[in-house]
Structure 1
Amino acid sequence: MISAKQDNVKGNEFFDYLFDRQALLHYLNNFQKDKEVMILLFELEDLDEWFSIYSPNIVCKTGEEILSVINEILPPKAKFFQISDDKYCILFSSVDVRKGMEFAHILRALIIDRKSCTNLSELDVTVCSGLAIGKVECIIPKAFSALKYSKKILSKIYFLDVCDDNFKELQKKEIEWNILIKNAIHDGRIVPFYQPIYDNESKQITKFECLARLIDDDRVLYPFDFFPQARRMGFVRSITYSIIDNSFKAFVNNNFDFSINITEEDIRDTQMIDYLKVCCEKFNINPNRIIIELLEDIEFDDDNLIINNILILKDMGFKIAVDDFGYANSNFGRLIRMQIDYIKIDGRFIKNMNTNEMSYKIVKSITNFAKNIDVLCIAEHVHSKSVQSLVKKLGIEFSQGYFIGEATSNPTIKLG
């Protein structure tokens, strides 16, 4: 985005105030290790998006103007650093949470309301800020953690209120998880478990969902245990490829259909689509036996890449399912555009539909909608005979849950 290092800009007065990350480390190393310092780490988002619309000069000029105004409002004796292409930090001269948060809010208001600042361009830019206080050895990791959390909240400003000792303990656990997941991937210990899906018309198990599990000695870890950390480490695709490969091996000698969960990282990856095609040819499995299950955290919006890749899979013969329908992925128009084959009704409604009238009505409404657009429904979290009776009463085509069968390391067809 914007790149500047003080040593390289002696002829450019604009960047005279902006230090690089080596200078930040130099400043910190000059302090006593037990000195407490305060840092505001912030990121200018969205500028990169404008490069596809405006000339680089206009986009860079916008970034430069923003940084120039920030420099003008810096607190006394504060130092301003660029530590990567889009991340900047301010090292305050004193430790005062109230003043640090006040500055973060001023910074956000300044960038959001740029129309009142005549010297700033009109390109929309978002700023995310993380404020951290700690001793020198902890302050940079704490600031990055604060920035990470700020991206998840509406205000885009987060103060990491945790002492250094507790933060070090969190770091230790993160490192342990990193090692565990990395070794599990390397050793082939992230494998699919298979949960049966029951056809309510034929009264038979006809499909299985392939669910990721991490085997750690005698423990079987579920995705909510390890997946967030794997995502932060960038291992999502490795996990998906492993599940695909093992699932094909499990179903090569039978006639069951099977579903594979796909994340946002996966559906954006054209290599994943090629890998699915290669596996179908390698194992001689018809793509129409395979359901690509789009997970609830995929941000579809109007993203043509995601929609186009889904349609490519459809053209290849794969079936498409939307997982946990009823919460995040409930845009009816988008479902039609994606030409989906299955709606998996969110288990949070299914499991309570025998005791909660509103849940029942929601499930009924989703079922009627699906029938009107010729899409099949799968009820998740069918955990009891009474829930299964209501599922069949509503005409839902398929059932999945503990009443039907738990996920196991081998496909089984015993009805619970």
Structure 2
Amino acid sequence: MLQHALLSVSSKAWRELSCPRSELRLDLTLGCGQTFRWRETGDGHWTGVMGGRVWTLTQTDDTLWYHVYENQDNHGIRRVCENDPGTEPAGSDKKLKCVSEVKQEPDEKGIEMPSVQDSTEEELLRDYFQLNFQLENLYKDWGRHDDHFRQIARIFTGVRMLRQEPVECLFSFICSSNNHISRIQGMVERLCHSLGPRIATIQGTHYHDFPTLQALADSGVEACLRNLGFGYRARFLQQSAQLILDAHSPDWLLQFRRASYEEAREALRTLPGVGLKVADCVCLMSLDKLGAVPVDTHVWQIAKRDYGCSSGNGQKTLTDKVHREIGDFFRQLWGPYAGWAHSVLFCADLKKFQKLKEQVDVQKKKIKSEEGDQVVKKGGTEKKKVRQLEDNITKKTITAKKVKLEKPPHSRKRRVKEEEQRE
């Protein structure tokens, strides 16, 4: 049975890419709700599907390690899915084109050895994590303009913005409506298992590619997904896929990478189930709109609690107007990469990372304590100067009094004159 790759078991099965943790932290980037296809399959090892391939990623201090599994099989796209999400997809046995034509043999541990070096894999990885952006420089720039960000950034380093495939990003975030991360992950996995082609089976876990638009638009999809617990979202998924194919083209979403932010956002909002928040998520995480700031209740709370933003005060629901005002507030604060900066604060606000957040609070208290000590020290120095000044004044006063007492009450000329008058 094929095993999940572990760096400690066989380093020969891995390839490496220079990348310090300050530029990328896998646990924060893959676990903060940008993507829903990655799972931790070993200590610090993340396995997921990206670019039609199954990957396991891990990292050391200065290196990103990656292992790509051979595509084993493809059972086609299930047009009408079954109620049981654990059932294997039915269909043809047509084999997917593998990453490499070189035959790969598993080693004695059941882990596939890497194929001949394929630069495509490294390019995919660099593009997915957008490694052309220098994250440390961005952090410094945001910190210069934002004291709160600077404090958060001391602990939450390496939170990068992913560049995902637009169809996967769009339909994953349609699932996110009124939902939380763990439940969205489950829904996306069931969606892929039911409608996407199977790529590989590793330790009994079946990995599937994301469904195509044609599979999502099938007339039986809504009923299928309702049976899988998607609720009202099932209709939005099917209708959005159908609308894209009928009114546009399969590549329609990709064209918005070259369009303006406003044009892309408004086009996305024409799709069923896509509001401002979902549109901004897709713009930021797959369409290269780096200034898009997705605003949900978490971000709204951050704006009010940590920045004193008064937009929407007194309102119980997040309106489009408040969404735009908060987005504009953060864009003015952080500049053209506001969406990236927002993801750091969003990550720090998640319950799953509260232990890290507590470290931020400890550092805040330490900084306040040090600042207080400096004030006390400065105050003590000022008091010492005042006391010295008072002592000097006192000494001068005493000296003056002493001189006055020692001085003769009358001058000699005046005394002679007084004597002559008495005579």
For normalisation by structure 2, the TM-score amounts to: 0.23
For normalisation by structure 1, the TM-score amounts to: 0.24
Q: Relative contact order, CA 8 A, sep 6+: which one is greater?
A: 2
**Which structure's CA Rg is the greater one?**
2
The structure with more helix, counted as a fraction of residues: 2
